Amino acid sequence: MRLSPWYAAALAALIATSAHADKEIGDYSGLPKDLADAATAYDLAQFKADRKALERVLADDYTLAGTSGKNQTKAEFIAEQTAPGNKTLSVDVHDQVSKVWSDGAVLAGLVDAKGVSQGKEFTFRGRFVDVWAKRNGRWQVIFTQIHAVP
């Protein structure tokens, strides 16, 4: 089954390092507490399709470079993530990478996921990179890139 390109990208962003026992959140031990809290909030917002939480954690200038080869804005990402009929059922992340500096971070990995897109079940494997910026004392995702891998 073919995923909506926007949903595949949204799914990838959701999965930003989800190797934790609770599959809907990542394993952020080892990150600064404020970044770990923001990353956990991001994961939960996507898993629960929480529009208000997504609006808080995504920067206004957020860009998603998705599997379709086109860029997606914050508004487009949120609309796709919260669309009826789209649901992430499970995620598992491997090969995690995290790089953190005082006002920025990169969280990345390889993801295997299952879910429902436009009412049809799917499985997906992809490699993603989320770029975070600390602005006005608050961490926000500013960029995500995702591509499918065999």
> Does the pLDDT at position 39 exceed 70?
yes
Q: Looking at residue 43, what is its pLDDT? A: 80
> Does the pLDDT at position 1 exceed 70?
no
Sign of CA dihedral 65, 68, 70, 73: negative
> Does the pLDDT at position 21 exceed 60?
no
Q: Taking the CB of residue 98, how many other CB atoms lie within 10 A of it?
A: 21
> Does the pLDDT at position 12 exceed 60?
no
Check residue 27 and report its DSSP letter.
-
| Beta-bridge partners for 81 | none
Q: Looking at residue 3, what is its pLDDT? A: 53
> Does the pLDDT at position 13 exceed 70?
no
Tokens of 122: 């799917």
Sign of CA dihedral 73, 93, 47, 104: negative
Check residue 150 and report its DSSP letter.
-
Half-sphere exposure of 32 (CA within 13 A, CB side): 15
Q: Looking at residue 11, what is its pLDDT? A: 52
Tokens of 88: 């992430």
**Domains in the chain, please, with CATH?**
5-148 (3.10.450.50)
Q: pLDDT digit string (tens) for 69-102? A: 899 999 999 998 899 888 888 878 778 889 999 9
Tell me the average pLDDT of the chain. 84
Helix H or strand E segment including 71: strand 71-73
| Beta-bridge partners for 115 | 88, 122
Cβ contact 130:108 at 8 Å: yes
How far apart, in whole angstroms, are the C-alpha atoms of residue 35 and residue 57? 11
Q: What pLDDT band is residue 18 in, cutting at 50, 70 and 90? A: very low
Angle subtended at Cα 103 by Cα 98 and Cα 105, rounded to the nearest 5 degrees:
15
How large a percentage of the chain has pLDDT more than 90?
51
pTM tops 0.95: no
> Does the pLDDT at position 53 exceed 90?
yes
